[in-house]
Amino acid sequence: MSTTKAVVVFSGGQDSTTCLVQALTQYDEVHAITFDYGQRHRQEIEVAQALASQLGVTAHKVLDVGLLNELAISALTRDDIQVDHALMDNGLPNTFVPGRNILFLTLAGIYAYQIGAEAVITGVCETDFSGYPDCRNDFVKAMESALVQGMDRPLKLVTPLMWLNKAETWAMADHYQSLALVRDHTLTCYNGIKGKGCGDCPACHLRSRGLEDYLNHRDTVLSDARQKAHLD
């Protein structure tokens, strides 16, 4: 029997950690890849390293892609731009990093090619996607097609959270007995505070509302998550 392998795009946040926890139950080898692009909340790299070690991934690669910081102007790449709840003139939040997921999925696809992995797993989500166009299903399918054609090798871009809301993502972590791990040891906050975060930025609001909704309606939300995500 051949060894199954997957690459998880891993930031150390709630979504990617939940995807990593699931992947560890589904593949023989799980490789995590984290990108250092000079992001505002740089603590996420240390958090990702600690979690990858704790969870026992096959390998964890941290890639320097600082060029993205030079090209993509965003509140997440510039310390002098304040994270704002208001949308920009183009209708996108100022935390949107243009091209980020294009670059990340391309590099993760190259890594998957080199190690013979059949899947790249990413925690993007169209249901609670914060307005980012590169988290939509149509984008992921287009990227998958481009990678397959460009490298002439089968590859799946797997998005376990695509149709889940934040409450259901919490439910998925709970399904894999990792609710406390995700709640206390991941970093989602745009201001770089682990766990509950700053409590004020858009990422913290989305995360905390989802957790509250899950805890208040646990059975219903867990049932919905199991059905939508085909959890075993």
- The structure's pTM equals 0.89
Percent of the chain's residues with pLDDT above 70: 83
pLDDT digits (tens, 9 = 90+) for 13-70: 999 999 999 999 999 999 999 998 777 677 889 999 999 999 999 999 999 876 655 5
Q: CA-CA distances (angstroms) from residue 217 to 89, 203, 211, 221, 227?
A: 37, 21, 10, 6, 16
Q: Does the pLDDT at position 81 exceed 70?
A: no
For residue 199, the number of C-alpha atoms closer than 13 Å in the C-beta half-sphere is 1
Mean pLDDT of 180-208: 91
* Residue 24, phi then psi, degrees to nearest 5: -65, -20
Q: Which residues are CB-contacts of 100 (< 8 A; sequence separation ≥ 6)?
A: 37, 68, 72, 134
Q: Look up residue 73 and give its two tokens.
A: 């102007």
Residue 98 has pLDDT above 90, yes or no: no
Calpha distance 53→203 (Å, rounded)? 25
| Residue carrying structure tokens 């391309």 | 106
Q: Rounded distance, CA 151 to CA 34, Å?
A: 22
Question: Residue 122 carries which side chain, given as an amino acid letter?
Answer: T
Non-local CB neighbours of 139 within 8 Å, separated by 6+ positions: 101, 133
